[in-house]
């Protein structure tokens, strides 16, 4: 069973065996299901929550508008006592979040009812041989994401969304993991929690933090999650200005 990555095609196990796998990009089913916007950033705007306007001035204005959420999200995810739960941990009934060690322990995955394994970190975090997952009835998808602040993690959501949805609709569970179970897989888990449960973004990251402990510390990924929330009318109430002023950078 060959390894597939989302830079070319979604895992063929999602498709009918007689059909080719679904291609990722603007025509991917995830774009319609989640209302993703692949329009150019310099265009008129970002969905129902209000776009960033035209050009650098519009982007700067939008960044300023979203600053209270950025500060509040960063504070929420940076709080706590640093305790770590046992992994994998449950984010939603159909979604578990784990690390490389979680993905390598096939008996535990079977016991937890995992039917889909989504590796968000590429070859560096492959937990088991792909054919080993297949022998246990698990489908596998590998994303080639990087854990750096400037990396556009949201580009992988078009591949991740239908894979996670397939697990849910089949009554199974998807383990999403990366190397540490913190940033790349944390972003995927947070996005699924946000969009599937239709939660305001601060509530979504609060729930993520409660379940996982230290998670999603990459501030670039935090920014992208806030922009997804904006595009889906899931920002919620503006955090109080004194909150941002007291706890900002």
Active site residue ranges: 178
Give CA–CA dist 93/24, Å, rounded.
26
Which structure tokens are listed for 161? 């969304």
Instruction: Provide φ and ψ at 219, rounded to 5°.
Output: -70, -25
Distances (CA, A) of 99 to 96, 157, 185, 244, 246: 10, 19, 8, 32, 34
Which structure tokens are listed for 236? 């919620």
- Is the peptide bond between 184 and the residue preceding it cis, with omega within 30 degrees of 0? no
In 45-133, where do the E strands start and end? 89-92, 95-98, 114-119
Give bridge partners of residue 23 from the DSSP assignment: 9
Give 112: exposed, middle or buried? Use CB within 10 Å, 0-12, 13-18, 19+: middle
Give CA–CA dist 27/38, Å, rounded.
10
Give CA–CA dist 245/129, Å, rounded.
49
Task: Say if strands 95-98 and 89-92 run parallel, antiparallel, or are unpaired.
Answer: antiparallel
Helix (H) or strand (E) holding 175: strand 173-177
């Amino acid at each position: 069973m060959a390894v597939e990555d989302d830079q070319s095609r979604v895992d063929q196990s999602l498709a009918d065996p007689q059909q080719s796998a679904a291609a990722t990009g603007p025509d991917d089913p995830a774009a319609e299901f989640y209302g993703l916007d692949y329009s150019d950033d310099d265009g008129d705007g970002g969905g129902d929550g209000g776009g960033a306007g035209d050009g650098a001035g519009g982007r700067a204005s939008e960044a300023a508008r979203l600053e209270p959420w950025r500060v509040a999200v960063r504070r929420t995810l940076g709080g706590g006592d640093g305790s770590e739960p046992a992994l994998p941990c449950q984010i939603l009934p159909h979604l578990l979040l784990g690390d490389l060690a979680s993905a390598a322990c096939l008996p535990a995955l079977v016991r937890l009812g995992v039917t889909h394994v989504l590796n968000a970190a590429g070859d560096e975090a492959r937990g088991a041989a792909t054919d080993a997952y297949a022998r246990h009835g698990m489908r596998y998808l590998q994303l080639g994401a990087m854990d750096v602040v400037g990396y556009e993690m949201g580009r992988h959501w078009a591949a991740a969304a239908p894979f996670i949805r397939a697990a849910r609709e089949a009554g199974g569970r998807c383990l999403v993991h990366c190397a540490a179970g913190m940033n790349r897989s944390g972003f995927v888990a947070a996005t699924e929690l946000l969009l599937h449960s239709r939660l305001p973004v601060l509530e979504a990251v609060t729930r993520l933090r409660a379940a996982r402990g230290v998670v999603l510390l990459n501030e670039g990924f935090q920014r992208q999650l806030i922009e997804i929330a904006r595009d889906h009318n899931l920002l919620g109430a503006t955090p109080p200005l004194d909150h941002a002023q007291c706890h900002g950078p």
